[in-house]
Amino acid sequence: EDKVVQSPLSLVVHEGDTVTLNCSYEVTNFRSLLWYKQEKKAPTFLFMLTSSGIEKKSGRLSSILDKKELFSILNITATQTGDSAVYLCAVAYSGGGADGLTFGKGTHLIIQP
């Protein structure tokens, strides 16, 4: 059965700290790994990773994929209160011509001022 496991499930840090969120997966017909940020409603897209070892970066956020060890990390440096959210990791797989997403439970990140 396909599985995506995120850790930690919740994390409380102070503004300015650096955080690392983890995602491991076991999925057949892997295509890509995606990170989304979910505040109140719609998950918003952060990164899509398809190749091992290539870091994707956007401002204070960065992410990398290890396809041999089947995991990814999401780093956030110099955290701000606006980074408080649930961070979802999802793996896209191919099946019957369609692309489903299998999600982890998410990491609930709280940034304290």
Partner 1 sequence: DAGVTQSPTHLIKTRGQQVTLRCSPKSGHDTVSWYQQALGQGPQFIFQYYEEEERQRGNFPDRFSGHQFPNYSSELNVNALLLGDSALYLCASSSQRQVTLRNQPQHFGDGTRLSIL
Of 12-20, 37-45, 56-64, 67-75, the window that binds partner 1 (rule: CB under 8 A) is 37-45
Place of tokens 């995602």: 23
Q: Which residues share a beta bridge with 112?
A: 14
Site string for partner 1, 73-92 (x = CB under 8 A): ---------------x-x--
Write down the least CB distance from residue 49 to partner 1, Å: 11
CB neighbour list of residue 69: distance below 8 Å, 6 or more residues apart = none
Cα separations (Å) of 27 from 79, 96, 104?
31, 15, 12
Where on the chain is the footprint of partner 1 (CB under 8 A)? 4, 6, 32, 34, 36, 41-45, 48, 88, 90, 95-106
